[in-house]
Amino acid sequence: MLIPLRVRDVMTETVETTESEAVVADVATHLRDAGIGSLVVVEGGRPVGVVTKSDLVAVLADGASAEAMTAETVMSSPLVTIGADAALDRAAETMEERGVKHLPVVDDGELVGIVTTTDLSYYLPELSLQHNWRDADEYARLGTDEVAYESADWEFTHTRENGAPVGVGDTVRFSKELSETDVRSFAQSSGDTNRLHLDDEFARETRFGRRIAHGTLVSGVISAALARIPGLTIYLSQDLRFLGPVDVGETVTAVCEVVEDLGGDRFRLMTAVYDEDGERVVDGEAIVLVDELSCDVGEKLEPVERAEEDD
């Protein structure tokens, strides 16, 4: 039985703060030097608001003086907080209801951490405010020609941090059911006919007590996610750790985040796969090369017909 995760399990305990009377110029410098997107504003050690880069841009774009205004005048308030023992889904609901991306975590009124939408996305991969593009025609309209076809049963989201095709902070998610047909087809195509994956009676006598999907099949959804990055994604390396089994017929979600631009169109990504309960079953790191596709590549490709699945 899985133990539900609480906010304290995923929050960042070291919180960057600023005093309410700090001038905006100093707040901006703090954000830049710390490489973060928000600061919790405190008075007498207690949190009273949050100031983000977006808050600063909004007021400065209106002609305000960075030297004349303070954190108190630009911060978001009243402050929305959450308790350290709250469930993760409650934190997600609070963010959606209140329209915030940063939740200070309090315990008896004291600031003990902070949790963000990015933090939650690693543990609740089903959370997304993006559209799920599910057919090849829609991909073509968006200029995405990396995949030959899509299925209505698959889900894909791509969150970009800036206007570049690929950049640090970008996140790609791909969800797919690992069906009975998938497992048996993978066994046939790979030659991995381990009875743990194919024989119910045999599998019942193992430590798992039932058949499970191949680990390599599970991790394959990472490759599926990376294939949907704009451009032609080429694997250079992939390190993996297998953390738990996945049942045949279970839907899994790959989450890949660009964490470093290595130059030369090469990028380092953190990769993970989650099961239906949001439990991480695979994690690792990948290095990929992303080639830009020519603008007319879609015109050069012939439509690819999907092979019909066996009954």
CA-CA distance, 104 to 47, in Å (whole number)?
Answer: 8
Mean pLDDT along residues 122-147: 45
Please give the share of the chain, as a percent, with pLDDT higher than 70.
Answer: 82
Superfamily name with CATH number, domain 7-123: CBS-domain (3.10.580.10)
Q: Own/partner pairs for 132-138, CB < 8 Å, 24+ apart?
A: 132/156, 132/157, 136/303
Residue 39's DSSP bridge partners are: 51
Contact between residue 196 and residue 211 where contact means Cβ atoms under 8 Å apart: yes
User: Does 189 have pLDDT greater than 80?
Assistant: yes
Task: State the pTM of this model.
Answer: 0.53
CA-CA distance, 103 to 10, in Å (whole number)?
Answer: 12
Q: Which tokens in the block code for residue 121?
A: 């996305």
Residue 242's DSSP bridge partners are: 282
User: What's the confidence (pLDDT) of residue 306?
Assistant: 44
User: What's the confidence (pLDDT) of residue 130?
Assistant: 34
What are the residue boundaries of the structural domains of the chain, listed by start?
Answer: 7-123, 136-300
Which of the four pLDDT bands, split at 50, 70 and 90, describes residue 137?
A: very low
User: Does 271 have pLDDT greater than 80?
Assistant: yes
Contact between residue 146 and residue 156 where contact means Cβ atoms under 8 Å apart: no
Q: What is the CATH class of 136-300?
A: alpha beta
User: Does 144 have pLDDT greater than 70?
Assistant: no
Whether omega before 245 lies within 30 degrees of 0, making that bond cis, reads: no
pLDDT tens, position by position, 26-77: 988 998 888 788 899 998 878 999 988 878 877 777 777 778 788 888 888 7
Mean pLDDT along residues 221-228: 92
